[in-house]
Amino acid sequence: MSHYILLVKWTEQGISKINESADRYNSFKTSLEKAGGKLIGGYYTFGEYDVVIIIEAPNDETVMSLMLKAGSAGNVRTKTLKAFTANEGMKIIKDLQ
């Protein structure tokens, strides 16, 4: 499975309903698992982003679908990074030679 890092910012709507954030997080986790993915970790943060989530998912299409669903609810805006483990990255670099 591929790894993804999700950078999440609350919208005005999302921050006004901050007490619902745990429910939204759990709903996302359930949707991810139903789609064949796995939640690796979730972190509330301060700074540029409000939440950072690390997931595994079967493919890019699954992640895009989940992010569109999350964004369409109007509570968050996200940036998604496709990530490679250190070993995967080193193999890619080694294969350049």
Residues 22-80: tens digit of each pLDDT? 999 999 999 999 999 999 999 999 999 999 999 999 999 999 999 999 999 999 999 99
The reported pLDDT for the residue numbered 87 is: 95
Check: CB of residue 70 under 8 Å from CB of residue 10: no
Report the run of H or E that residue 54 belongs to, with start and end. strand 51-57
CATH architecture of 2-94: 2-Layer Sandwich (3.30)
Whole-model pTM: value is 0.91
The reported pLDDT for the residue numbered 97 is: 82
